[in-house]
Structure 1
Amino acid sequence: MLIAQSLLAEFEAQAPVTRKFLERLPADRLTWKPHSKSMTAGQLAYHLAFVPGGVVRGAQQDQIAPPGFQFPQPATVQEILDTFEQSIVTVREVLPSFDDAAMNATWRIVDGDQEIAAMPRVAFLRNIMLNHWYQHRGQFCVYLRLLEVPVPSSWGPSADEGSALQREPQPV
């Protein structure tokens, strides 16, 4: 299996899980935040929706400047879900275009003449498109819990929802 196909398969398995989390954000809590230094729930949800497509677009370049971290405040949950759907479309279109040579080629972040980071493109996609995405999904899980919203299962059951892999107890 090509590297890109492997990453795409993982993305396809995780996108519906992320969608469940995003769909649970209450429309009236978009500006709520757990701490003054935290992003709002809407900003975090928007970031979670944007990351896969934004990262794969960045991977199309051989190098990028350090990203400026802007976390827009969405007006509606639908805006977040629309951003997520576009992100999915982008990943599905762009990721398969990378052959294994492109995935193993060095990808860089540079600031003028200074190299900030250099790694194989696959490492960038694994670490930022996927691992970073999962980390923010976990962070968003805490937001949902603090908002008293039932937390969906992800890798396994949550306190509110069983895992798709978990069998229901059978009556004795």
Structure 2
Amino acid sequence: MVSLIEFYLKQLNEEAETTCKMLAMVPDDKYDWAPYAKSMDIRRLATHIAELPTWITMALNTDELDFENNAWAPTIINNTEELMALFERSLIDGRTQLVANNEHKLIESWILRSGDQIYSKNTKGETIRMALSQIIHHRAQLGVYLHLLDILIPSSYGPSANEQFEVIEVEAV
């Protein structure tokens, strides 16, 4: 039977492959672009995606994240080369924690809060699952951004609509 740690590592590795393809598509001249005023620009969104694997380390080695009392600031990236390097460092960071010796920590409590306002209280294992889900969620957002910029997005779980349309176009000729 596969342990939860092994399962999370497998999921991280599988999602990393797709995420890497998507992050690599971000054009260097579009880091300040956003689809509308209230949305994150591509720099902030892509940086968040690239940093999410570090939440595995945070979940396993802390008991909470308190936004009100945390001096965290996102890494500043200015081009896709820097973005890809950040994602690779984050993956290495997260992978180093997904080891058998940390299996017992998965049932411990972890809280996401801002001061007295608690956003979620889960186990550390559930927090890792949430971080993996956030990678997928925000990667999909990035796919929408890229699509709005007329950039053909890569497949995630089978052919993308762009790839299927290209096949239909070729077959019609």
User: Which TM-score band (shorter chain)?
Assistant: 0.7 to 0.9
TM-score normalised by the chain length of structure 2: 0.82
For residues 110 and 33 of structure 1, the distance between their equivalents in structure 2, rounded to whole angstroms, comes to 27
Task: Please give the alpha-carbon distance, in whole angstroms, between the structure 2 residues aligned to 1:146 and 1:110.
Answer: 34
So what's the TM-score if we normalise by structure 1? 0.83
Bigger share in helix: 2
Distance 1:115 1:107, change over 3 A: farther
**Partner Cα separation in structure 2 for residue 28 and residue 73 of structure 1:** 15
> Could you say which residue in structure 1 is the equivalent of 2:57?
57
The residue type paired with residue 16 of structure 1 is: E
Alpha carbons of 1:56 and 1:63: their partners in 2 closer, same or farther (altered >3 Å)?
A: same
SS across alignment from 1:48: helix
Amino acid at match of 1:138: A
Q: Take 2:133 and 2:43, find their aligned partners in 1: how far apart are those partners?
A: 21
SS of the residue 1:125 aligns to: helix
- Displacement of 1:98 in angstroms is 5.1
Residue 154 of structure 2 corresponds to 152
> 5+ residue gaps in structure 2?
165-173
2:5 partner amino acid: A
Instruction: State whether structure 2 residue 41 is matched by structure 1 residue 40.
Output: yes
Residue type matched to 2:42 in 1?
A
Shift of residue 72 of structure 1? 5.4
What is the match of residue 103 of structure 2? 100
Root mean square deviation, CA, Å? 2.1
The secondary structure found in structure 2 opposite 1:89 is helix
Contact 1:2/1:99 (8 A) holds in 2: no
